[in-house]
Structure 1
Amino acid sequence: MKNKTYWIFALLTIFIVSIAYGFTKLITPKDKLETIDCAETPKISGESDFKPTIVNKTPAPSAVPKGMAWIPGGEFSMGSNVEDESLCSIKGVTKDAAAIHRVYVDGYFMDKTEVTNEEYAKFVKATGYVTVAEQKPTKEEFPIANEEDLITGSVIFTPTPTAVNLNNFLQWWSYVGGTDWKHPEGPQSTIKGREKYPVVQIAYEDAAAYAKWAGKRLPTEAEWEFAARGGKTGNLYTWGNTLKPNGKFQANIYQGHFPIKDGDTGEDGFKGIAPTAQFAPNQYGLYDMAGNVWEWVNDWYSTSYYDELAQEGKVIKNPQGPSAYNDPNDPSQIKRVHRGGSFLCTDQYCTRYMVGTRGKGEVRSAANHLGFRCVKSI
């Protein structure tokens, strides 16, 4: 039906355009993926913009909550000086991660891993909580949709049968009815046997509700990046400056031809999503701060926020994000920040597993590569 097609397209667009690599109007890929010109390392500028990280010397409290790590806080340079979106000739769409600016955060605890299916199931059992994907959309949200078209569901990655130009993301994303955190890849899928996998198909309010129940909160973007950097200064990745030290991948990301069916070669050990904690932790004992699933943070998304902080010319203490959301590419949608990249990040299209880069999402949208982790103030 025409109206149904329009409504599903609208919901799909809300989420996909919201993701950082949705700036497809800036991308002009070549016809054949085999001919894409890729580099070993990204182009960077302004290396001197990174000043030394100064880690607080406050010792860890005697009682660290189970499953969490102590992050001492301190002063660091936040943001990215990477010029391109990918390693394969996709130019200039990481500008929301500049300018690099100086930030201070107090110490806090952070979950060592993303919240898992097992943990989220305990929350739902205790509270009866119903996620956004499980709620029937309303006529208020989609006034032109027919009532019969308003079905529960969410967005899933849908590989293409053959190679495609990467200039139309709708080729590999689909809104599928019956998709939710218990059925993350469509109504026939299940989380049985995946208790230790990160929970996905989580909208912002779903993550915030869990955090409140657990006596925690979502991290600020500054807290997330300080923790991800592990006390180091200006590294490209949470583990250093080389994508594959000693020839080994350090995160669950996409290798092979994106977004073709069975295109992910699994060179990192996984095709698709992985259980948590399958790679070495960073210096603070945190797992999967790059790849596997994107993570919600608490800050509103604003394209110009980093520039505004840099222009203040001072150390910003415990920033909470901008006072309002601002995305000129999609001004009508309410967005918050994502961090860390996912198993779908590829050198051909999106390398936002790089530690200083950012993502974004409409607050009531979810997908099968989006989850979260929590923090706790002392």
Structure 2
Amino acid sequence: MSTRGQVALPGGRFAMGDPFGEGYVDDGEHPVHEVTLAPFGLDATAVTNAAFATFVKDTGYVTDAERWGSSAVFHLAFHGDRADILTSVEGAGWWLGVRGACWRRPEGPGSSVGDRANHPVVHVSWNDAQAYCAWAGKRLPTEAEWEYAARGGIEGARFPWGDELRPRGRWPLNIWQGRFPTHNTEEDGYLTTAPVKTFRPNGHGLWQMVGNVWEWCADWFSPHTYRESPAADPVGPAEGVSRVMRGGSYLCHDSYCYRYRVAARSSNTPESSSGNLGFRCASSP
């Protein structure tokens, strides 16, 4: 059931974690363990540029990327003067630190979101996502809620639709095709973000839970979480350095980032932002 842009989920019991042994050891996708969740609501889509613009207009909020003066942009998507490139990320040269990159200018000073109202907002930190959720009277989902929702009612599958990446030869998600990070064939139609309702929703009526943009969750991250968390309504560690991100993004490719599986986990520091990182909101009954 959908209410005001959210889907009401009944909660219940599910197996959380990677049953295929395909995850990265340091990500802590094991052991598979049983989790029971209370009912909750989750936005049918990631928060869009249009929705975030309304929030900013209403509150005057300034994002972390805007306050810091720069954010991370994928090198093939950059638009602007080369003088605006401040640095590249060591060990991940496809990421550029770009002066002026933010949610309004996602590829750098030469870009805008003017024709992308229905694309997911990006360059939002965990702090920014928290602020939006508070304004909207919602909250970020826990990691367990996110995985339960992403599975779409299909127990133990790799993806929201089953185990096969391309059923009937079609791309059901926005990820990287070709040779990463230099050549994207764009077989799914997109180099960067796609509109939030581009691909079919999962069995719960939730759109693009994998691919397109990473989504912040409420929890602190630890690779040991699954060995220590309670079985009922887990909320993650009491403290940490980075926050959980889920779902992968348009940059994921199995040659280096096989994290567009529903069990996959990643993390980043709460003030971090990039051109492939967004969020969606949850709520309690």
TM exceeds 0.5? yes
> Is 1:365 aligned to 2:272, yes or no?
yes
2:262 & 2:91 partners in 1: Cα distance?
A: 24
> Is 1:133 aligned to 2:133, yes or no?
no
Q: Which residue of 2 aligns with 1:344?
A: 251
How big is the shift at 1:294?
0.1
Contact kept? 2:18, 2:31, Cα under 8 Å: yes
Contact kept? 2:9, 2:39, Cα under 8 Å: yes
How big is the shift at 1:267?
1.1
Contact kept? 1:201, 1:367, Cα under 8 Å: yes
1:345 & 1:307 partners in 2: Cα distance?
A: 27
Q: Which amino acid aligns with 2:217?
A: V
Judge which range, 265-274 or 251-260, deviates more. Answer: 265-274
Structure 2 matches for 1:53-92, cutoff 5 A? 64-84=2-22, 92=24
Evaluate the alpha carbon distance shift between residue 275 and residue 107 of structure 1 in structure 2; reply closer, same or farther with a 3 A threshold: same
> Is 1:283 aligned to 2:203, yes or no?
yes
Evaluate the alpha carbon distance shift between residue 95 and residue 213 of structure 1 in structure 2; reply closer, same or farther with a 3 A threshold: closer
User: How does the TM-score come out when normalised to structure 1?
Assistant: 0.70
> Is 1:196 aligned to 2:118, yes or no?
yes
How big is the shift at 1:269?
2.3
Contact kept? 2:213, 2:250, Cα under 8 Å: yes
What per-residue deviation string (whole Å, max 9, x for no partner) do you get for residues 309-349 of structure 1? 3xxxxx71111111122xxxxxxxx2000000000001211
Q: Which residue of 2 aligns with 1:319?
A: 234
More strand by proportion, 1 or 2?
A: 2
2:154 & 2:144 partners in 1: Cα distance?
A: 14
Structure 2 matches for 1:146-225, cutoff 5 A? 152-159=69-76, 169-225=91-147
What per-residue deviation string (whole Å, max 9, x for no partner) do you get for residues 272-306 of structure 1? 21111111100110001000000000000011111
1:82 & 1:352 partners in 2: Cα distance?
A: 13
Corresponding residue SS for 2:178: coil
2:32 & 2:11 partners in 1: Cα distance?
A: 18
Corresponding residue SS for 1:119: helix
Q: Which residue of 1 aligns with 2:81?
A: none
User: How does the TM-score come out when normalised to structure 2?
Assistant: 0.92
Judge which range, 233-242 or 300-309, deviates more. Answer: 300-309
Q: Which amino acid aligns with 1:302?
A: S
Of 102, 106, 109 in structure 1, the residue corresponding to residue 41 of structure 2 is: 109
How big is the shift at 1:256?
0.4
Q: Which residue of 2 aligns with 1:328?
A: none
How big is the shift at 1:93?
3.7
How big is the shift at 1:75?
0.4
Structure 2 matches for 1:254-273, cutoff 5 A? 254-260=176-182, 263-273=183-193
2:5 & 2:238 partners in 1: Cα distance?
A: 32
Give the alignment's Cα RMSD to 1 decimal: 1.5
Aligned residue pairs total 273
> Is 1:237 aligned to 2:152, yes or no?
no
Corresponding residue SS for 1:104: strand
Q: Which residue of 2 aligns with 1:306?
A: 226
Q: Which amino acid aligns with 1:238?
A: P
Corresponding residue SS for 2:55: helix
Corresponding residue SS for 1:317: coil
1:75 & 1:360 partners in 2: Cα distance?
A: 25
Corresponding residue SS for 1:172: strand
> Is 1:124 aligned to 2:56, yes or no?
yes
How big is the shift at 1:159?
4.1
Contact kept? 2:119, 2:195, Cα under 8 Å: yes
How big is the shift at 1:95?
4.7
Corresponding residue SS for 1:194: coil
Uncovered stretches (5+) of structure 2, i.e. residues with no partner:
78-89
The alignment-based identity, stated in percent, is 45
1:210 & 1:95 partners in 2: Cα distance?
A: 27
What per-residue deviation string (whole Å, max 9, x for no partner) do you get for residues 31-89 of structure 1? xxxxxxxxxxxxxxxxxxxxxxxxxxxxx6xxx5311111111001101134345xxxx
